[in-house]
Structure 1
Amino acid sequence: MKIDPSRLWKTNGPRTVVVLDGEFRYDEAAHARYQAAERFVPSDPISQSPREARNDPRVTPRWPCHQLVTLSWLVMIDCEDGLRPIRLETRGLPEQDERGILTAFFADMAQLGERIELVTWGGFHTDIPQILLGAMTHGLRLPPALAGLRSPWRRDASRHTDLMSEVAGGANPPHLAEVASRLRIPVKLTCRPDLVSRLMGLGKWSSVRAVCEGDVWTTSMILMLWRQLGGDGESAFEMKHRLASFIAATCSHRPYAADWARFGEDAARAAFAHEAGKMAAIAPHLSD
């Protein structure tokens, strides 16, 4: 078989990295159909413990019976000096239902071209399977750039990076908030994770969007620092400043904006203090 080397190494401009996160709620109608298929009756779980009930899909809907209600994605360009955020997109209820959300997302991915890398936090087990099942439900087709998602175990071919798996390696999979807390990155600012479903029930969709966007920002910051660990891009301070400045310029109306502004300011103070310490060590007489 003859292989054209130019096809292996050709680069048509910078690669696009898309960090995404979704918010889901129970699809009660789908779950009722599942219960009917299992011949489930309300008296069945009476003898179960609360733990058993949580793990029983007849009682607590698992991911196939979840429905996408909000999707947020950050488009970044992979430049020589590191990742640069370009724009944030969010779609969700009440303006768009699951079909509308996925249609908008797929259309955006199609116009970005095929040099796309998707990045999620834990999305290998959550976001991606539910997005694919939602697309099947509504008879949608994946854009060419996302066709590899149908082969999730082929990580390179899928063009999806689960950052949680990359960071954790062989350790137990951590929550996003655990890693972000260690790195002093803003995380879960809008509400407690277990209260997001309550926001949905109250119809507070702007807050749900803020929750979804918040996870995208946090994941993006971890991604920048993870790549900087291997020598990609500029300094950690530059990455922090870059993302915090972008959030301030584009999302100042969101409840998380002030925390990210402080994050950028703290990063600047730490960087200046570090440089001042280096100067004092080199030329101590200048600090007198």
Structure 2
Amino acid sequence: MLDIESAVLDDTAHRRYQQMERWVPSDEKPIRRGYQRAEDPLTCPRWVFQTITTAAMMVLVEDAQGGVDVQRFVTLSAPDHSEREVLTGILQVLADAPADAELCTWMGLAHDAPLIINGCVQHGLTLPHGWRWLAHGGFHKDRHIDLARAYTGGMRMKPIHLAEVLAVMDIPGKLTCPPFAVTNLIYAGRWDDLQSACEVDVISTALLLARWRRLTDPRAEADAVEDRILRRVIQLREGRGYIAALEAHRERRFGKKLAEAANDAAVLAAWLTQDAA
């Protein structure tokens, strides 16, 4: 599981681009004719100019019965790590993974993979052996599960937000802030809050994966896999502000299962409630 956060933090490269285009911003001509500001790359830097500030990675290991456990939960972020160090950490996690490991993201083909490729090229970093297919856009029909792509017929349907799917599935998500606020956390230097937001997205994607994989693998119930992931995260990230919400969700889900089991017992085994003769 992988999620990264990024923002435009250095205008130097964008100014070089403006110079190449012979563009001089002015109050009289703030954008080019026919453009809205957000559409004009000369006045609104596009993703290639962004700096990766934060990455969260969760390594899940599957057992023979189809159960899943959290092996590692790694977070790398400014101000303690530069972009190069964040990227190096991502590559190290990939290098340490088993040879047949799969990458799972939400919208990774449209966001995470291109930004990682762009950053690695800038910093002269080499992808680990076995992961060099990422250099070609991050698409791999077996090794990269982009759940956004899976949900939209390979992006043939209109793209949807992760929060929409989480709401439908009753999976906790966006616990610390709404998606539109993440960039402002970067600009404000609120790194602990940013790390929490990034971690929550990874946790949510892992819980969604637990349900999606049930389509092709009947060995383990999604609820059991979800509970194991939540228990591990609660242990590994004790003290994070979002842990209370995860605990409440887990208790509510467990309570619902108990109620369903009690109802089934009353219907199918009414003798359990009768006094012994």
Q: Return the TM-score normalized by structure 2.
A: 0.90
Deviation at 1:285, TM superposition (A): 5.5
Separation of aligned partners in 2, 1:275 and 1:217: 27
Partners of 1:24 and 1:70 within 8 A in 2: yes
Q: Which of the numbers 118, 128, 132 marks the counterpart of 2:117?
A: 132
Deviation at 1:217, TM superposition (A): 0.3
Are residue 34 (structure 1) and residue 17 (structure 2) matched? yes
Q: 1:110-259 counterparts in 2 under 5 A?
A: 110-152=95-137, 155-156=140-141, 159-169=143-153, 170-259=156-245
Deviation at 1:271, TM superposition (A): 1.2
Partners of 2:54 and 2:86 within 8 A in 1: yes
Q: Which residue of 1 aligns with 2:73?
A: 88
Q: Which runs of 4+ in 1 moved over 6 A?
A: none
Q: Which residue of 2 aligns with 1:64?
A: 48
Separation of aligned partners in 1, 2:92 and 2:187: 29
Sequence identity (%): 33
CA 1:118–1:277: 2 relative to 1, 3 Å = same
User: 3-state DSSP class of the match of 1:224?
Assistant: helix
Separation of aligned partners in 2, 1:279 and 1:141: 58
Give ranges in structure 2 of 5+ residues lacking alignment: none
Deviation at 1:132, TM superposition (A): 0.5
User: 3-state DSSP class of the match of 1:45?
Assistant: coil
Partners of 1:237 and 1:271 within 8 A in 2: no
Are residue 260 (structure 1) and residue 243 (structure 2) matched? no
Separation of aligned partners in 2, 1:52 and 1:212: 30
Partners of 1:237 and 1:268 within 8 A in 2: no
Separation of aligned partners in 2, 1:153 and 1:189: 28
Separation of aligned partners in 2, 1:133 and 1:212: 20
Give ranges in structure 1 of 5+ residues lacking alignment: 1-18
Partners of 1:244 and 1:263 within 8 A in 2: no
Q: Which residue of 2 aligns with 1:8?
A: none
How many residue pairs get aligned? The number is 268
Q: Which residue of 2 aligns with 1:100?
A: 85
Separation of aligned partners in 1, 2:146 and 2:122: 24
Worse overlay, 179-188 or 51-60: 51-60
Separation of aligned partners in 2, 1:265 and 1:37: 58
User: 3-state DSSP class of the match of 2:102?
Assistant: strand
Partners of 2:109 and 2:138 within 8 A in 1: no
Separation of aligned partners in 2, 1:39 and 1:56: 14
User: Which amino acid in 1 is paired with 2:83?
Assistant: E
After superposition, give the CA deviation of every residue in 1:186-235 in whole Å (9 maximum; x if it has no partner).
11111121112222122111111111111000000000111123334421
CA 1:60–1:283: 2 relative to 1, 3 Å = same
CA 1:171–1:145: 2 relative to 1, 3 Å = same
User: Which amino acid in 1 is paired with 2:18?
Assistant: Q
Are residue 22 (structure 1) and residue 4 (structure 2) matched? yes
Deviation at 1:48, TM superposition (A): 5.9
User: Which amino acid in 2 is paired with 1:264?
Assistant: R
